[in-house]
Amino acid sequence: MSKAMSMQDALIVLDIGKTNVKLALIDAGGAVLAEERRPNAIVHDGPYPLHDTDGIWEWMLATCRTFAGLAQVSAIVPVTHGATAALVDDDGLVLPVLDYEAALPGLDYDAVRPPYAQTFSPSLPVGLNLGRQLVWLAQRYPAEFARTRHILMYPQYWAWRLCGAAASEATSLGCHTDMWDPVQQRYSQLVDSMGWQPLMPPLAKPRDALGTLKPELAARTGLPASCQVLCGIHDSNASLVRYLDREGGAAPRTVLSTGTWVIAAAFGVPLEGLREEADMLANTNALGQPVACMRFMGGREFAALAGTQPVSCTFEQIEALVARGTMALPCFAEAGPFAGRAGQVQGPAPQDASERFALATLYCVLMTDYCLDALDARGPIAVEGSFTANPWFGPLLAALRPQQAVSYSDDASGTTCGGWLLRYPEGVPPGTSRAMPAASLPGLAAYRQAWQESLARADTKEPALAAG
């Protein structure tokens, strides 16, 4: 038997988050065979803040060569953050990939932006609406933009670079881009009014195989020439895949995808209750269905409060902060339902790094609870992603929401599992969920009420204490 025949079938998930890039090698049974990661650093010496696509590319190919010796890799699936696109011609990028947190000066976007009632995509700061980025690029760099053959959502850019086939895909198009109508599941009027329709490749589903690895890449990486490249998916929607009813139903439940963003996806909630001013939106899931969502930059804000070198806290320290009335009021990032407010800490200041961790935990719990109330989220709550490493987040959330069972996925990156399920849709998702017992903290409900009351009357201009 040859070495290739004796090696097990496996998938590579390319997971590009806003903060880190990860490659995971996962076998057909869902076991992670290998994993490598690197920071996703933004380059600031170009025409504007941009993604280091060449750095990611070289690192990815080198890592794939390592993975090629560990398993028979039959497919690669790209999973990336949203609000990002690549403009390409037949030779590659016509402009560098713009960072969605870059300022876009001199743009009158409201004149062309479609109404919220059509897109359920709220008006967001900087480049968080992808349509805003594209209009700015078209106005600022008209000659380069005119050379564009394809506008590719970020997962599909990596698929195109790997196999040469261009596709569009709804989970990334539906991620607050202003370019997608989630109810009708079609492009919004922005795409037509800007003349972009010819630049949008044919729509494909996330699990569709677009082609096989380019021969030169197979030779360079040692991966099989038959290795398929899947269309790919938006990362928060990848976290939802394991919870989707494969028959197309929508039983009420809530999934919290946590990382740089905390995104609450509430299955079974009608879109009519969404409010633009609260940064509520509709995403499109892997089945092509709209999902009511609300989010805040939980990972970013946690880091702002806990510091750059967080030190975990004890439950007693959380109890002490609640007893003292120390609380953080939003917000500590540039986006979310309280964007524009100046974050502040009310009450006695945290005394050390572990108390700052406790305060950050309480803040993220209260913000999550606020979002779930605003969504009228129902059913059990599944927590995916980086917050599952926090032992107190789930129990505190469970204490505030006794009607909704809270569980942690033991997959610290639900995106990886979602990517795996695209290749093995009939497989049993790896890992298990752990039920979170509600924390016993008698003063927590009163603390939440005080936080909500303070929020309503907060002075948003002068922060009481700089976080971090």
pLDDT averaged over every residue in the chain: 92
My answer on whether 220 and 266 are in the same domain is no
My answer on whether 214 and 241 are in the same domain is no
Residue type, 240: L
My answer on whether 224 and 258 are in the same domain is no
Q: What is the pLDDT of residue 461?
A: 42
Q: What is the pLDDT of residue 81?
A: 95
- The 10s digit of each residue's pLDDT in 186-195 is 999 999 999 9
Q: What is the pLDDT of residue 6?
A: 57
Domain end: 231, 246, 263, which one? 231
- With a pLDDT cut of 90, the percent of the chain lying above it is 82
Domain end: 231, 266, 296, which one? 231
My answer on whether 146 and 250 are in the same domain is no
- Per-residue pLDDT band at 460 (split at 50, 70, 90): very low
My answer on whether 440 and 299 are in the same domain is yes
- The answer to the question of residue 464 being in a domain is no
Domain range holding 206?
A: 3-231
Q: Which of 34-48, 237-251, 300-314, 342-356 has the lowest mean pLDDT?
A: 237-251
- The answer to the question of residue 462 being in a domain is no
The stretch 456-464 carries a mean pLDDT of 54
My answer on whether 126 and 15 are in the same domain is yes
- The 10s digit of each residue's pLDDT in 120-160 is 999 988 999 999 999 999 999 999 999 999 999 999 999 99
CATH of the domain at 398: 3.30.420.40
- The 10s digit of each residue's pLDDT in 237-293 is 998 898 887 655 556 899 998 988 899 999 989 999 999 988 899 999 999 999 999
Predicted confidence (pLDDT) at residue 381 exceeds the cutoff of 60: yes
- The 10s digit of each residue's pLDDT in 277-291 is 888 999 999 999 999
My answer on whether 337 and 447 are in the same domain is yes
Q: What is the pTM of this model?
A: 0.86
- The 10s digit of each residue's pLDDT in 406-418 is 999 876 567 888 9
Q: What is the per-residue burial (b if ≥16 Cβ within 10 Å, else e) of 212-222?
A: bbeeebbeebe
- The answer to the question of residue 280 being in a domain is yes
My answer on whether 179 and 203 are in the same domain is yes
My answer on whether 227 and 245 are in the same domain is no
